[in-house]
Amino acid sequence: MTTQDDPQIGGRIRRLRRQRRVAQADLAEAVGISASYLNLIEHNRRKITVPLLFKLSGYFGIEPGELADADDARLIGDLMEMFGDDLFADSDLTNQEIRDLAFSNPVVARAVLRLFDSYQQTRTASGTRETADEGGPTETEAPYHRATDAISDFLQENANHFPALEQAAERVRADVDSASETFEQGIRTYMFNVFGMDYRLTSLPRGIARRLSSDGRVLEVSDLLPPETALFQVAHQIALLAADGAIHEIIDQSNLPGQDAPALARNVLAAYFAAALLMPYARFFRAAEDSRYDIDRLARQFGASFEQVCHRLTTLQRPGMQGIPLHLVRTDIAGNISKRFSLSGIHIPRHSGACPRWNVYSAFLAPGRTNVQLSQMPDGQTYFCIARSFEKGGHRHNAPRRHFSIGLGCHISQAKRMIYSDGLDLRNESQIVPIGVGCRICPRMECEQRAHPPADHRFRLEDGERAESLYGRI
């Protein structure tokens, strides 16, 4: 018996093998086939049998369905969003033609996306330069930067899981725990014994979270930060000292573009280490499973913030100890998406704001409250989504505050594993909220919250009749 014809499964196997740094011969031996046969499978020149599919998924520690589905939906969604831009308004591309590109040549498809990213950066920079002379935003305030999308893609390609950093964090955590009964005192002892450093809370210039003293002996942390954020800043600095080699090795082996992306990746990977240090993998995984992903309970147990816990939950991809495949999105009150990651299968927009009907936006209406929603995409897939808005800053008189919303969720099939599903009838279709990726590519013509018509929309207006929405008539 063989699996269904899937032109991408070979590429997924090759990608997973390379991410785990496994030689082709070693993987072939582990699953009981020849290296030459595995090479043919990886290049989609041989079908994969169901027993072999189970062996491979078992080796990588994932479900067979995950190996069979991977990130095709995300690539197709990114392409559809791109071709929904006004630039392609007269191209008359069909959804099937876009899918054909993604399936037949994903390498070319991703290259086209990178080209469009560069075009967007140039277009945005040009627009901000024109408005700067009129008192508008300057070039440095442009809302789009190619490096941020490159980092999102980098995290997605690695399933937001970096074993080398997990191991480095576990080694440091063992030293910290052996130094004292409390984590804070243990980390002080560790920093002094290993790096000859101490840290202290102090008044720093506005906008500075931490800085090293001129002699490098004292780490100064802003006394305006919440306790969990201050401790995270200390852990982040330790990452740059204790895991610098591992971080650079990950970056060197990546396909990140030059310029700003490597520096940004270093910061992101240091933050990953910091979270792993504060919330050790095995202990955090067991606590998450035992509490059924109760974020407030986990935050209290590990002395972390709501956002820190949400991020950590998305990293639980260790083979044999995997958490729920989650998606995460962070947006500000203006709708700008600053963080996006998806293992659940839901598509998060690459260049534009998400659907206004998604609860990640309605969460702003009830700050601090967890908003629950059954969200259904146009392809019929339904996701269980929670969202909460929160503030940052404001720890001094008249200080400006930043407003964000975090959305976290999973496929509806995994919803029962989360405590937030208790009391909900997940089979009740009346509870489902239809959402889309973005107005430019969303086919839901009946939506009353459309901000733009679909890219292929043609207006049909009549003097004697006025539709509630101009975009609802074609």
Separation between Cα atoms, residue 322 and residue 196, nearest integer Å: 37
Q: What is the pTM of this model?
A: 0.77
- What's the domain count of the chain? 4
As a whole number, mean pLDDT of residues 20-33 equals 89
Task: Find, among 458, 103, 156, the residue nearest to 329 by Cα.
Answer: 156
How sure is the predictor about 352, in pLDDT bands with cuts at 50, 70 and 90? low
What pLDDT was estimated at residue 42? 83
Q: Which residue has the higher pLDDT, 138 or 392?
A: 392
Neighbour count for residue 108 (Cβ, 10 Å): 11
Let me know: does 323 contact 287? Beta carbons within 8 Å. Answer: no
**Residue 140 located in a structural domain:** yes
Write the pLDDT tens digit of every residue in 228-273.
999 999 999 999 999 999 999 999 988 888 778 999 999 999 999 9
Q: What is the pLDDT of residue 1?
A: 43
Question: Are 77 and 65 part of one and the same domain?
Answer: no
Cα(436)–Cα(460) distance, integer angstroms: 23
Least-confidence region, from 38-52, 63-77, 355-369: 63-77
pLDDT at 79 over 90: no
Measured in degrees and rounded to the nearest 5, phi and psi for residue 42 equal -65, -25
Answer whether 160's CB lies under 8 Å from 317's CB. Answer: yes
Residue pair 154/256 in contact by the 8 Å Cβ criterion: yes
Please check whether residue 280 is in contact with residue 170, taking contact to mean a CB–CB distance below 8 angstroms. yes
Contacts of 429 (CB under 8 A, 6+ apart): none
DSSP string, 129-184: HHHHTTT---GGG-S--HHHHHHHHHHHHTTT--HHHHHHHHHHHHHHHHH-SSHH
Instruction: Report the run of H or E that residue 240 belongs to, with start and end.
Output: helix 227-242
Spatial distance between the Cα atoms of 207 and 204, rounded to a whole number of angstroms: 8
| pLDDT of res. 227 | 93
Residue 117's pLDDT is what? Answer: 78
226 lies in some domain? yes
Residue 187's CATH number: 1.10.10.2910
143 confidence band (pLDDT: 50, 70, 90): very low
437 pLDDT band (50/70/90 cuts)? confident
What average pLDDT does this structure show over 171-183?
95
Chain-wide mean pLDDT for the chain?
Answer: 84
Instruction: For residues 363 and 287, state if they share a domain.
Output: no
Give residue 81's pLDDT: 77
Q: Are residues 101 and 46 in the same domain?
A: no
Q: How far is CA 382 from the centre of its chain?
A: 19
Position 140 scores a pLDDT of 35
Identify whether 465 is part of a domain: no
Percent of the chain with pLDDT over 70: 86
pLDDT of residue 137 exceeding 50: no
- Find the length of the chain: 474
Q: Is the pLDDT score of 327 beyond 80?
A: yes
384-401 pLDDT tens trace: 999 999 998 877 778 888
b/e burial code for range 433-443 (CB count within 10 A of at least 16 → b): eebbbbbbbbe
Same domain, yes or no, for 175 and 278?
yes
What is the three-state SS of 353-386? Answer: CCCCCCHHHHHHHCCCCCEEEEEECCCCCEEEEE
Q: Are residues 308 and 240 located together in one domain of the fold? A: yes
Instruction: Say if residue 64 is in the same domain as residue 17.
Output: yes
User: How confident is the model at residue 18, as a pLDDT?
Assistant: 80
Q: Would you give the DSSP letter of residue 45?
A: S
Domain range spanning residue 85?
Answer: 73-144
Judgement on whether residues 45 and 135 belong to the same structural domain of the protein: no
Rounded to whole angstroms, the Cα distance separating 417 from 414 reads: 6
What pLDDT shows up at residue 66? Answer: 63
Range ranked top by mean pLDDT from 84-88, 99-103, 115-119, 332-336:
332-336
Q: Measured between alpha carbons, how far is 376 from 248 in angstroms, rounded to an integer? A: 40
d(CA 276, CA 284): 9
Is the pLDDT reported for residue 64 higher than 70?
no
Residue 86 predicted with pLDDT over 80: no
